[in-house]
Amino acid sequence: MQVTLVYQAALNAVVASSPFLSTLSKQFAVDVIVRQAMVTTSGGTMELALIGDQDEINRAVAFLQTTGSTLTGPIVTHDNVVKPVLSNVSRGT
């Protein structure tokens, strides 16, 4: 069953300067939505929504914790959430 779990992530400088979201999406069967972020080269915070099977999300969270990220959560959970789609996208002209 697909679920959505939202986590707060505190990032150190090493993690903030690495492609950890790319690695996360390649190694695990989860979709990642960055809901909020304030990140610089010295670190920062992110609010991440992870969508997928519960076991795969648990594996992805364990991976993030090994990178030096500190995760809090899940702060929000949604079962059977439909992925958001973009609508009315324009160039702003």
Six token digits for residue 5: 């779990």
pTM above 0.85, yes or no: no
Contact 33, 3 (CB under 8 A): no
Segments making up each domain of the chain, as ranges: 2-79
Q: What is the pLDDT of residues 74-92, one digit of tens each?
A: 887 766 444 444 444 455 5
How far apart (Å, rounded) are the C-alpha atoms in residues 16 and 44?
A: 7
Q: What is the pLDDT of residues 24-71, one digit of tens each?
A: 989 999 999 999 999 998 999 999 999 999 999 999 999 999 988 899
Which superfamily does 2-79 belong to? ACT domain (3.30.70.260)
Six token digits for residue 64: 């993030």
